[in-house]
Every structure is written in structure tokens, then in C-alpha cells.
Amino acid sequence: MPLTKAGMADDKAKRLRATLKSKDIVVAAGVYDGISARIADRMGFASLYMTGYGTVASSLGLADAGLATYSEMVERVAMMAGGTQTPMICDADTGYGGLLNVRRTVQGYEAAGAAGIQIEDQETPKKCGHTLGRRVVPLEDMVLKVKVAVESRRNPDTLIVARTDSRTEHGIDEAIRRGEAFAKAGADVVFIESPESVAELERIGKTLAGGAWLLCNMVYDGRTPEVSADDLKTMGFSIAIYAGMAHKAAAGALAAAYQHLKTARTQKGMPVPMYSSAKMHDLMGFPDVWAFEKRWDQSGK
């Protein structure tokens, strides 16, 4: 019997939690739209990560600076998570408001198919991680958000990811203090954003591993040094997300392709790999469309 939408979401959350319990590090590829989600879904990753930065950029053409609403983002969760088989951790910013908003956000994201829901401790309007000027709410306020998030989920396998952005303005000691409090409040995963050295990564792993699973954001040319997933595992991390990789790669490829077209006035000799029409049709599900149309064709041809 086919799984319902809720059943499929529950299965994804269960699979992701089982992978974490197996002690293998989860490498989560960043996705930001329907095409990136479909491509990554075919690659065999243990998890995908719906990036707020890329999702806002691709859907609204704006900076990830607290401009996207809950309604806009949960619609993207439903589109990306609903069209993929891989468990997906989804960026939910600050929960889009107070405690009542956090409850609605968790329940809405979970119903839309998220296997993990990430909430951060920034003031509203928030700013993208790895940027300057991020301000955080009092620790007590974020602890309440974590507790509400944990209580609000329908499925106990759904991961609550609690992120602190305090490192950049308040230092690593405060970030670790907050991480410890988030784990105590019931967060499944603790995410300290933008540590600035290998020594800080090692300290986070040594101090916090065991209280909750630990997540690290590997941002291409960001504030955190590039460390392999295997080395992060050795340090005590359980999840490595590559949130910005896909949209940066796509932006670079598009810029090169557009420049070639402008200069050469032809698609021949493109400096980036190109999908064939057949491969693109297959990716987007046209074979199913054609099969449906053939089955229900009433023209008699």
C-alpha cells in the first residue's frame, strides 16, 4: 500500500535519524530550487539541506535578510521535499516570530515534508550566516523556542536543529554556552554557525559531542576553514551541510555561459557542462507526462 504524504515524511525522518544513530557522518548537499533538489536527490546523499540564502535568492531575487515570510518558505519546503525521496533538513530562520509562530512553523514545515527543521537565535530581521552584524536574542528566549519546537512536532523522529549565530559578535565561549543550553532544552542537533578556526571546530566537538548531534556548515570561502567531512566526523560532528555550494556553482556556470553567448553569439563551445534536452526532460519528469498522455489519448490515433 503506497505511503501517504505524512507517511513518506515520517519515513524520511526515520531514515535520517537511523543514519545519525549509525555514527556515520551525514553529508547534506545544499539545494535551493526544484532543479537542484531533483539533481541532488539522484546522487545518493543521506540528506539534503534546503538553504535559506539560496531559496530566497532563487525565488525572490533578494538577499537572505529576513525578507522572506513563513508562507513563502513553507511553500518551497513543500515543493522541494515533496518532489524528492532523500530526507531534507530545512532552514526555518528564527521561526518567523514568537513562540506561537515557532509552533506554527514546526508543524507547517513538518507537514510539508521536512525531516529536520532548523531554527536560529538571531534577532528579527535575521541576516545570513557568515555575514557581519548578526545580533542574537537572549539565551533564555531561544531556549524557550527550542522547547516549543520539540513539543510541537508531530513525529518524534523529526529533527529539531538549534543554531546559534553568537560566535561572530560574542565569541566561541558564548557560542558553546548556548549550544550546551540548546541540547539541554531538547534539541536533537546543535549548530554553531561560523566557527573561525580548526581549533574552534575541535573545541566544539570535544565540548558538545554527546549532548546532541553536532552540525557544521561548510561554506565555500566563508568564515569557517574548509575541513573534510571525514575530519569533521573525527572531531565529533555528525552532520556536514554544504548549504551554498549549489547556488554558487550554478551562478558561476550561468555567468560563464551567458558571457560565452554574448561574446561568441552561439551556444557552440560552451565553457560549462550542458545537459542534453533528453537528460533535462528525464530529470523533470516528462516521460511520466508522455506516458499519461498516451494512456488517456482519446483521439484514436
| pLDDT mean values, one per 10 residues, the chain (301 residues) | 74 96 95 98 98 96 94 98 97 97 98 98 85 90 98 98 96 97 98 96 94 96 94 97 97 98 98 97 96 89 64
pLDDT at 90: 98
> What is the value of pTM for the model shown?
0.95
Residues 65/127, Cβ–Cβ less than 8 Å: yes
pLDDT at 301: 64
pLDDT at 298: 83
Residues 155/11, Cβ–Cβ less than 8 Å: no
User: For the CA atoms of the chain, what is the radius of gyration?
Assistant: 20
Tell me the C-alpha distance between 89 and 51, whole Å.
9
Residues 16/47, Cβ–Cβ less than 8 Å: yes
Tell me the C-alpha distance between 153 and 168, whole Å.
30
Q: What is the DSSP string of 188-234?
A: SEEEE----SHHHHHHHHHHHBTTBEEEEE--TTSSSPP--HHHHHH
| Ramachandran class of 150: left when φ > 0, alpha when ψ lies in -120 to 50, beta otherwise | alpha
> Which residue, among 105, 99, 150, 141, has the nearest Cα to 123 in the 3D structure?
141
3-state DSSP assignment of residue 160: strand
> Which residue, among 25, 28, 21, has the nearest Cα to 43 in the 3D structure?
28
Residues 236/208, Cβ–Cβ less than 8 Å: yes
Q: CB 43: neighbour CB atoms within 10 A? A: 9
Structure letter (DSSP) for residue 62: S
pLDDT at 253: 98
> Which residue, among 244, 85, 95, 77, has the nearest Cα to 160 in the 3D structure?
95
Cell 546559534 identifies what position? 164
pLDDT at 209: 85
Tell me the C-alpha distance between 9 and 90, whole Å.
13
| Ramachandran class of 159: left when φ > 0, alpha when ψ lies in -120 to 50, beta otherwise | beta
pLDDT at 131: 75
Tell me the C-alpha distance between 24 and 29, whole Å.
16
CATH tag, 5-250: 3.20.20.60
For residue 56, give the amino acid letter.
V
Which residues are within 8 A (CB) of 153 and not within 5 positions of it... i.e. 6 or more apart?
106, 107, 110, 117, 160
3-state DSSP assignment of residue 85: coil
